[in-house]
Amino acid sequence: GKHRIVIPCLGHFKEEYEKVSKLYMNNKIRTTKYTLLNFLPRNLFEQFHRVANLYFLFLVVLNWVPVVEAFQKEITMLPLVAVLTIIAVKDGLEDYSKYKMDKQINNLLTKVYSR
């Protein structure tokens, strides 16, 4: 595989370098927006920042009130659930393609300058 490993020639400073290098972040590129743990809550949070989705959520909540109920409760939820699902799948696929590109870029071979 293509792995990028940079090993400096530090001699007797190797132990000190290992202690200091743990304090710094790595230089991996990460352009993805989601992880597996935060995909659903973060995606729903972003989708409900759109006014149209809030409007349809309001209609769903309003339809659960027995006095105002115009349609069956499940039928009112269908458009909102369909739109949220389609957008979530699209966002997930886009983020996965970003993840694959990041992985490809992070595993490129590099040249290290040494006198």
Considering the domain boundaries, does residue 38 fall inside one?
Answer: yes
Considering the domain boundaries, does residue 75 fall inside one?
Answer: yes
Domains in the chain, number: 1
Considering the domain boundaries, does residue 6 fall inside one?
Answer: no
Length of the chain as a residue count: 115
Considering the domain boundaries, does residue 7 fall inside one?
Answer: no
Q: How far is CA 109 from the centre of its chain?
A: 26
29 in Cβ contact with 105 (< 8 Å)? yes
Task: Please report which confidence band the pLDDT of residue 85 belongs to, taking 50, 70 and 90 as the band edges.
Answer: very high
28 in Cβ contact with 51 (< 8 Å)? no
Predicted model pTM: 0.69
Q: What is the pLDDT of residues 25-52, one digit of tens each?
A: 777 888 999 999 999 999 999 999 999 9
Q: How far, in Å, CA of 16 to CA of 18, rounded?
A: 5
Considering the domain boundaries, does residue 8 fall inside one?
Answer: no
Considering the domain boundaries, does residue 63 fall inside one?
Answer: yes
What range defines the domain where residue 64 resides? Answer: 31-107
Considering the domain boundaries, does residue 13 fall inside one?
Answer: no
